[in-house]
Amino acid sequence: MALGPVMLDLAGGTLTPAEREWLQHPVVGGVILFSRNYESPAQIAALIHEIHRLREPHLLVAVDQEGGRIQRFREGFTQLPPMRELGYLYDDNRKRGKRLAETCGWLMASELRAVGVDFSFAPVLDLDRGISTVIGDRALHRDPDIVADIAHSYMVGMGQAGMVAAGKHFPGHGGVDADSHHMLPVDEREYQDIYAEDIVPFERMIHFGLAAIMPAHVLYPRVDAQPAGFSRFWLQEVLRRRLGFQGAIFSDDLSMAGAHSAGDMPARARAALAAGCDMLLVCNDAGAVARILDGLEPEVNPARSLRLMRLHGRHELARDDLLADEAYLQARHMVLSIA
């Protein structure tokens, strides 16, 4: 069964009968995990193993494990620093900053791969303009060239651990104060201004081989009448054609307030797919999952299937072996020194 275009969440640390049924629906292709799903490394590994056993090819399992305030798995995992700390280190010593970024990417990915997670939605490629509180220290830097340089090293580290990178939030969430979880942010800048700065890290990372991108629930009215995640202009004209992106496009959570302008849940799902998203996140709303599964028809899309299949994790790794590995212990020591 091919991977479908819906990535949903779970209520707790084990699968319910209803969730097990949902995960076998043909329009489902993945699961995103949150802190409520996590109790211990052993428990989360068992949950992911059960999810992976349900389908062939196995469902994608993802998590937000950026570091700082956005780290879903904590007890039993290394406390990762906010990504802005890597920017400070880079300012002090470029070579050391890049080395630590690579180490952070490898450590984050290695710990997740050791429990079966396929990928993390990281790194954040938004600019730290000092405007957005929801982005804030999740951003690597204010300078787009430096963001791209650090993010590249971070992605290299992730790749060495067998994990692809998923950059967010295209074309840039750093220029607005509003939090798209609670309202639709509006960025009044012209396209030229966004392209000259905010898009730079995305463009560079695409050339470096970025495998996935998540657009922002942000409206740029001087560019297009639809928020980026529902905009054919942003996703097809800019991201696919002008930037040449060939990887997977993930919607941000369709339950967020920033997505409400696209209509009810099935309408949001159809609009995001029509705009060019390959996979839709539906979180924190079990009723919405049921409506979307009832409202979407399975379709054969070989290009989408191929893009999603490339996101499966590589390099199977036993957690006990990782914890005993000298390279892991050194990397953990280095990262904890900046956390």
Supply the residues annotated as catalytic. Answer: 181, 252
Q: Are 198 and 141 in contact (CB under 8 A)?
A: no
Exposed, middle or buried, 139 (CB in 10 Å: 0-12/13-18/19+)?
Answer: buried
Cα distances from 110 to residues 30, 67, 73, 120, 138, in angstroms, run 20, 14, 13, 11, 20
Go through the chain and tell me how many residues it has.
339
Tell me the residue type at 102.
Answer: E
